[in-house]
Amino acid sequence: NAGVTQTPKFQVLKTGQSMTLQCAQDMNHNSMYWYRQDPGMGLRLIYYSASEGTTDKGEVPNGYNVSRLNKREFSLRLESAAPSQTSVYFCASSELTGPYGYTFGSGTRLTVV
């Protein structure tokens, strides 16, 4: 019963480096999301994919790109990491496109120095 799996769990990057955060779900969900969580600011949506083949910007997309590789996988890429991207990143999925609750992955704690 894996649910939503994120890798890696922890990562330290130097400013300017790039990396990809991986997310996979095994629940046959249509919609997938990437959020970042910062102290006092709650969860903020970076990008989402309402269904396979589509992606859209969320509230804070600058500095990020995404790929919906197939129905199961949704990756988040930082092309040139900045200290402002230090955060905890959560991937989530939802069964249907629309107002349903999410299932979250365990998160990636990213530090950019």
Q: Which stretch binds another protein (CB under 8 A): 15-23, 60-68, 73-81, 91-99?
A: 91-99
Q: Which of 15, 18, 100, 111 binds another protein (CB under 8 A)?
A: 100
- The residue among 4, 63, 65, 60 whose CA lies nearest residue 32 is 4
Count of C-beta atoms within a 10 Å radius of residue 14: 8
The residues in 41-60 that bind another protein, with binding defined as CB under 8 A, are 41-45, 48, 50, 56, 58
CB of 53 or CB of 101, closer to another protein:
101
CB of 14 or CB of 62, closer to another protein:
62
Q: What's the chain's length in residues?
A: 113
Cα distance between residue 87 and residue 25, in whole Å:
22
Q: Which of 31, 85, 87, 93 binds another protein (CB under 8 A)?
A: 31
Question: What are the distances in angstroms from CA 36 to CA 1, 27, 28, 31, 51?
Answer: 24, 22, 23, 17, 21
Chain residues in the site for another protein (CB under 8 A): 31, 33, 35, 40-45, 48, 50, 56, 58, 90, 97-107
